[in-house]
Structure 1
Amino acid sequence: MRKFVIVLLPLLLSACVDDSASYYADGVGNHALTLRRAQQNFWSDATTVDLIMSRLPDCQRRIRLATMPAGEVEIELFGGRDNNWTLRAGNQVWQVESQTCSQYADNKGEFGEPVGIFRAEGGKFTFQPALVTPPAVPAQGAPQ
């Protein structure tokens, strides 16, 4: 019985959730924003959420964002000019820039255009791009 407990002990202490999702700003992986959620203990629903910024070869950095319930991790991503990014989860807002991999101490208030959302869906952590609505095209014969 003692050997059985010793063999199972690492399983009991291992994390239940440890996954990530990425947004590739350049489409190929040299410039990416990745969110990682990790549950430290199986008995706790809390997960730590980290942002990993990379714009290779110049920058790569991990920033701890928050602690959230595993199933409620939902973070919106907004993009601005000059590699400026805003992440928002409810009333929490983080602003970063991936030119030098830094986080702004104070939020500027400018979010930029919606890029997508990181969320847990069906037990997996995913990034879903924002829906882009095309500009309205006037009907033929309508005054412009």
Structure 2
Amino acid sequence: MKPSASVLLLAGAPVLLAGCVQDTASYMIDGDRNHSIMVMRSQDLPWGDVSLAVTAARQPDCLGGLDIKGVPRNAELVLHQAPPDYAEPIYILTVGKDDYAVSTQSCRVQKFAQAPADAGPEIGRFKEVDGTLEYVAAAK
């Protein structure tokens, strides 16, 4: 007796879904969960790139963000405290070779047209630890 196509599909589903991810990590500013930078990572297929949703939150005043598509799963996500040269206080999130301005004052996330000359000191990284995205503070 031959197995039906649906039985084969169901049997193969765990293998297809094994590499998929959907997880979130947050950098809480001054330990306040309502004032944070959050990165949500999702991957639909194990062989595909991931999508990131980067959110700046200062609740209850504002919440906003940006979706970043086509990011390699192993891309470095480095968070910097930007120098005070900007019009408002920002953080700079480096995603692979791209840099993003993250403001929790206006709750906006924007891609820099070109890399800033000085991203400022690294304060931490969003990285995969044991298969899950986590925020890991930089050593002081």
TM norm. shorter chain > 0.5? yes
Contact 2:51 / 2:70 at 8 angstroms: preserved in 1? yes
Percent identity of the aligned residues? Answer: 23
Which secondary structure state, in structure 1, belongs to the residue aligned with residue 55 of structure 2? strand
Mapped to 2, the partners of 1:74 and 1:105 lie a distance apart of 16
For the residues of structure 2 that align with 1:17 and 1:105, how far apart are their CA atoms?
Answer: 24
Greater relative CO, 1 or 2 (CA 8 Å, sep 6+): 2
User: Any residues of structure 2 matched to 1:36-55 within 5 Å, and which?
Assistant: 36-42=40-46, 44-55=47-58
SS in structure 2 of the partner of residue 95 of structure 1: strand
What residue is the counterpart of 1:135 in the other structure? none
Report the AA paired with residue 68 of structure 1: V
* Residue equivalent to 1:77: 79
Q: Does 1:68 align with 2:96?
A: no
Over aligned residue pairs, what C-alpha RMSD do you find?
Answer: 2.7
Structure 2 counterpart of 1:86, which letter?
I
* TM superposition score normalised by structure 1: 0.73
Paired residue total: 130
Equivalent in 113, 117, 123 of residue 125 of structure 2: 117
Aligned to 1:87: 93
CA distance in 2, matches of 1:50, 1:35: 6
1:28 aligns with 2:28: no
1:6-48, CA deviations, whole angstroms, 9 ceiling, x for partnerless residues? 8779878868110111100130201111111101234x33111
| Greater Cα radius of gyration, structure 1 or 2 | 1
Give the TM-score normalised by the residue count of structure 2.
0.75
Partner of 1:128: 136
Give ranges in structure 1 of 5+ residues lacking alignment. Answer: 133-144
Whether the 8 Å contact between 1:58 and 1:100 is mirrored in structure 2 is no
